[in-house]
Amino acid sequence: AQRLSGRARRLKPSATVAVTSRALELQRAGHDLISLSVGEPDFDTPPHIKAAAIRAIEAGKTKYTPVSGIPELREAISAKFRRENGLDYPPNAVTVTSGGKQALFNAFFALLDPGDEVLIPAPYWVSYPEMVALTGAVPVPVPTSPASGFQLDPDALEARITPRTRLIVLNSPGNPTGAVFPLDTLRRIAEITQERGLLIVTDEIYEHLVYDAEQVSIARYAPEHTLTINGASKAYAMTGWRLGYAGGPAGVIAAMNALQSQSTSSASSVSQYAALAALEGYEETARFVALARAAYRERRDRLVSGLNALGLSTPTPQGAFYVMADTRSIHEDELEAARIILDEARVAVVPGTDFAAPGQVRLSYATGLENIEEVLRRLGALVGSSS
């Protein structure tokens, strides 16, 4: 076998892989499996967005684009930041990437040196610590608890700052917790960031999926100290188009562009025209977003009340499309609990292991209500009660 790089060898193989491959095995064997493990909308991409992409293909807009994205799209993103987030990012402070994920990757590689420390509220989306570690920097988790609905305590964050701290990663609404950080928390974190000369990387990819809370962009309170990441995947049901973007200090954006120029060159041209239609046709897009949001809310309410009725304690998340259920009544160890749920209830969930969420599993409600009802019936049979 070929020798792999230290980097590749250090990449943590996902603890969820075992559960995922077992799920695939069961599916292949013809078992009727319901998956609540997905991280993508179950809705189709809205028609006006698809139509724009088809027009772009037919018009031959199928060539390389500028590294930072086509100028029209950067204009539209700049206008979106102003309209929806109250942020002033001129087009040269905006860059377009192959998904929010690549914007994060470029940002970490543009900003981190080996030994730098990065504060990451936990439970976290697994890619943050893994990407940070790839750069040689050190992820430092800041714990939050189910009892507080996974709210972040700015004092706990501040207590973990050292002379090596460089970045704070925020993700509100958050994956996997669904927590939305309130204005007071964001203001306080913005203050700390400025006082300590740090930088915030805020991942706002779930911004439109909020139910009983208001999503606020922290860049409003620390514009010079914030890089705002977003993308088309979750808001417009466009996961496969691979279209993300970032706005921030022009120097940081320029460094991200330099990295991109030597890796992917740019996001897909066709996807850029599709995203342009999503942003420019914003009334049509807003109707889609509102419908999706109402559907997610109804599903969330049913799933949360059903799980709690089964004794699987689940805080009500205010955003995104995930819930975190305490599965210790099924098994102390969440990996084991996820395996039991899969084998005996035929429901695929993600164990909290990789998210730093012991004793819990993540269930996604980006699926129809009838699936959620069936999942609750199956879990009821497993734990021996009914919801």
Q: Are strands 34-35 and 226-231 parallel, antiparallel or unpaired?
A: unpaired
CA 157 to chain centre: 20
Give Rg (Cα) of the chain.
21
Q: Does 248 bind ligand PLP (CB under 6 A)?
A: no
Q: Which is nearer to ligand PLP, 244 or 306 (CB)?
A: 244
Nearer to ligand PLP, 110 or 179 (CB): 179
Using CA atoms, how far apart are residues 137 and 134, in angstroms rounded to an integer? 7
Contact 358, 335 (CB under 8 A): no
* 239 touches ligand PLP by CB under 6 A: yes
For residue 101, the minimal CB distance to ligand PLP (Å) is 3
Q: Cα(382)–Cα(387) distance, rounded to whole angstroms? A: 12
Question: Counting contacts by CB under 6 A, is residue 203 touching ligand PLP?
Answer: yes
Nearer to ligand PLP, 78 or 233 (CB): 233
Please, which residue, 107 or 205, has the CB nearer to ligand PLP? 205
Whose structure tokens read 């320029």?
Answer: 254
CB-wise, 211 or 330, nearer to ligand PLP? 211
Residue 124 beta carbon to ligand PLP: minimum distance, rounded to whole angstroms: 9
Alpha-carbon distance of 320 to 386, in angstroms, equals 27
Residue 171, interface with ligand PLP (CB under 6 A)? yes
CA–CA dist 134, 150 (Å, integer)? 27
The alpha-helical segments, DSSP class H, found in the chain are 6-10, 17-28, 47-58, 71-85, 100-111, 127-134, 154-159, 183-196, 250-261, 269-280, 282-309, 334-345, 369-383
Q: Least distance to ligand PLP from the beta carbon of 203, Å? A: 5
Site string for ligand PLP, 34-73 (x = CB under 6 A): -----x----------------------------------
User: Shortest gap between Cβ of 173 and ligand PLP (angstroms)?
Assistant: 9
Segment 262 to 281, residues that bind ligand PLP, using CB under 6 A: none
Options 74, 80, 101, 346; binder of ligand PLP; rule CB under 6 A: 101
71-100 residues in contact with ligand PLP (CB under 6 A) are 99-100
Q: Which is nearer to ligand PLP, 101 or 166 (CB)?
A: 101
Verify binding: residue 353, ligand PLP, rule CB under 6 A. no
Helix (H, G, I), strand (E, B) or coil at 17: helix
205 interacts with ligand PLP by CB under 6 A: yes
- With CB under 6 A as the contact rule, the residue among 35, 85, 202, 233 that binds ligand PLP is 233
Task: List the one residue out of 320, 371, 245 whose CA is nearest residue 41.
Answer: 320
121 is a site residue for ligand PLP (CB under 6 A): no
Binding-site size, ligand PLP (CB under 6 A) = 13
Site of tokens 């700049």: 78
Burial of residue 191 (number of CB atoms within 10 Å: 0-12, 13-18, 19+): middle
Q: Shortest Cβ contact with ligand PLP: which residue? A: 99
Q: How far apart are CB 113 and ligand PLP at their closest, in Å? A: 23
Q: Is 99 in contact with 231 (CB distance < 8 Å)?
A: yes
Give the residue with the Cβ less far from ligand PLP, 40 or 284: 40
Residues of the chain by 3-state class (helix, strand, coil), percent to 5: 45, 15, 40
- What is the contact surface with ligand PLP in residues (CB under 6 A)? 39, 99-101, 125, 171, 175, 203, 205, 231, 233, 239, 244
